[in-house]
Amino acid sequence: MNMCGRINLKLNSWDQFRSLATTELDLHLVVPAGAFALLVATLRWRDGETHRRACVLVLGDLGRSPRMQYHASSLSKHGYDVTFVGFLDSKPHDDIVTNKKIRIAPISEVRGVSVGPRLLKYASKVLLQVLQLLLVLLTMKRQALILLQNPPGLPAMAVVWLVSILRGSSFVMDWHNYGFTIMALSLGAKHPLVRLAERYERFFGPLATQNLCVTEAMKDDLKNNWKVKATTLYDRPAAVFWETQLPEQHELFRSLGAAHPVFLSSRSEEDGGKETTAFTVKNLANQSVTLRPDRPALLVSSTSWTEDEDFSVLLGALEEYDELVMGGAPLPHLLCVITGKGPLKTHYCRQIDSLQLQHVHICTPWLEAEDYPRLLGSADLGVCLHKSSSGLDLPMKVVDMFGCCLPVCAVHYHCLQELVQPGVNGLVFRDQQQLAAQLKSLLEGFPGSCTRLDQFRRNLRASRGQRWDDNWDQNVLPLISAH
């Protein structure tokens, strides 16, 4: 064979080798690419009911997430089969539990490693939550939309965005506040974790398909500083929030009295054919219920016992109120009921136990979802100590109180005027001295004529606006129907 033949042979052999190598390389690419395509096709597979399925996700306690419960209920009323995902530490409202179109999918609150630096503990917890959420969201049937509460949004925002891409679902974010501002309350604004959390929210926030928020102030801030276009969905009271009728009040006080005797009367339970509580009298002959003329005033506040509510302000005001009564002021005895669960409850309960009050009683019951509206509808005055970490959200507890026509004293912060109108439906205070003065001015002469308190209640009755369902239908339904 001559030299040209050998060269041609070598060239032909190289061409054959390259062809073979390319084929092998293609196989190594095609197989995983095909597997990935098959996975995506499986994740995106639609059946006849896909467009009527929705996931509502809360990286928190479902029972203490009323707005998200309302979202789930509204979606179900419009024909969606709803998967409600979150922690099941406390029982949601019966309307959620018994709704056949709502399936509660409980997840557990994961914990990171228990030793080592705080950053390591936090990172390990986030990683476990990512894996947990991916498992839940990728193994359920494909959803037309995933509605996420933020905060808490870390790491749920990133996970939901990824899942929405993989499965072709709409990603709807409901902004209640900013997570990094809440984190800053305990860590400080300059802490590395806080700065990281802010960058995280700013990156993933604009990636949602649709955004909802709770105030016009937050809507403007999201637009101007986050490049996020949001629709304001004000919190509105659900249908269960109404003034409680006297017979129902009586039964509620008797029920609460089993664990908290302060709700019961010091008299005999059946005094001359009458059944009594500290607030009501029931005539056993005709079953009629009346209010006692010597009843205490019922003051109600609710809380998650977190850093954005300083309950020392209320406790200090109650001490001043007690001193006014001991000094002879024409003020009633006061029963202050503080409801809720949270990390700082033990801290404040120790403060409460240390108080030496003569004319004020404080109790901190945990109420079932059905009893909370009944208590608000039975109360004389509400107090709100929520002080927004961002200054851009509104306290839903005040919305619920207004639904029960319950006047409110609320601590001042930016944008509160979108809800509380001082001198019309309540009062706004800045410190414990102002709150104590407001309690005195509103309750003086109780239970007789309390001119300002009575006027606030009449104003609330006259100005009953939209309930949640109408508000949701007007603002949210068009958004989700467009996708």
* Cα 65 from Cα 397, distance rounded (Å): 11
Q: What is the mean pLDDT of the chain?
A: 89
369 contacts 91 by C-beta, under 8 angstroms: yes
* Cα 359 from Cα 1, distance rounded (Å): 118
Which DSSP string corresponds to 68-93? HHHHHHHHHHTT-EEEEEEE-SS---
Q: Could you tell me the pLDDT band of residue 145, with boundaries at 50, 70 and 90?
A: very high
pLDDT in tens, 148-183: 999 999 999 999 999 999 999 999 999 999 999 999
295 contacts 446 by C-beta, under 8 angstroms: no
pLDDT for the residue numbered 37: 56
Q: Which residues contact residue 105 at a Cβ distance below 8 angstroms, ignoring those fewer than 6 apart?
A: 83, 84, 85, 136, 140
pLDDT in tens, 273-306: 889 999 999 999 899 999 999 999 999 999 988 8
pLDDT for the residue numbered 257: 94
pLDDT for the residue numbered 8: 42
Q: Could you tell me the pLDDT band of residue 255, with boundaries at 50, 70 and 90?
A: very high
Question: Which residue has 């606030």 as its token pair?
Answer: 456
Judge whether residue 5 has pLDDT over 60: no
Question: ω into residue 117 within 30 of 0, thus cis?
Answer: no
* Cα 125 from Cα 254, distance rounded (Å): 44
How many CB atoms neighbour CB 249 within 10 A?
22
Question: ω into residue 332 within 30 of 0, thus cis?
Answer: no
Classify strands 274-276 and 280-283 as parallel, antiparallel or unpaired. Answer: antiparallel
Q: Which residues contact residue 71 at a Cβ distance below 8 angstroms, ignoring those fewer than 6 apart?
A: 56, 147, 174, 472, 476
As a whole number, mean pLDDT of residues 367-394 equals: 93
pLDDT in tens, 29-45: 555 555 555 555 566 66
pLDDT in tens, 202-241: 999 999 999 999 999 999 999 999 999 999 999 999 889 9
pLDDT in tens, 63-100: 989 999 999 999 999 999 999 999 999 899 999 999 99
pLDDT for the residue numbered 451: 81
The amino acid at 220: D
As a whole number, mean pLDDT of residues 266-279 equals: 74
The amino acid at 424: V
- Quick check: helix, strand or coil at residue 274? strand
pLDDT for the residue numbered 449: 78
- Quick check: helix, strand or coil at residue 451? helix
Judge whether residue 124 has pLDDT over 70: yes
Half-sphere exposure of 21 (CA within 13 A, CB side): 6
* Cα 411 from Cα 422, distance rounded (Å): 11
Q: Which of the pair, 421 or 32, is modelled with greater confidence? A: 421
pLDDT in tens, 302-327: 998 888 899 999 999 999 999 999 99
Measured between its terminal Cα atoms, the distance across the chain in Å is 72
Judge whether residue 52 has pLDDT over 70: yes
- In 3D space, the residue among 391, 395, 383 whose CA is nearest the CA of residue 415 turns out to be 391
> Which stretches of 151-237 are DSSP H helices?
156-167, 179-187, 192-204, 216-225
- Quick check: helix, strand or coil at residue 193? helix
Exposure string over 58-79, b if 16+ CB within 10 A, otherwise e: bbbbbbbbbbbbbbbbbbbeee
pLDDT for the residue numbered 342: 86
Which stretch of DSSP H or E encloses residue 297? strand 297-302
As to burial, measured by CB atoms within 10 angstroms (0-12 exposed, 13-18 middle, 19+ buried), residue 258 is exposed
pLDDT for the residue numbered 25: 43
Can you give the pTM of this predicted structure?
0.83
Phi then psi for residue 250, to 5 deg, are: -60, -45
Question: Which residue has 């010597």 as its token pair?
Answer: 294
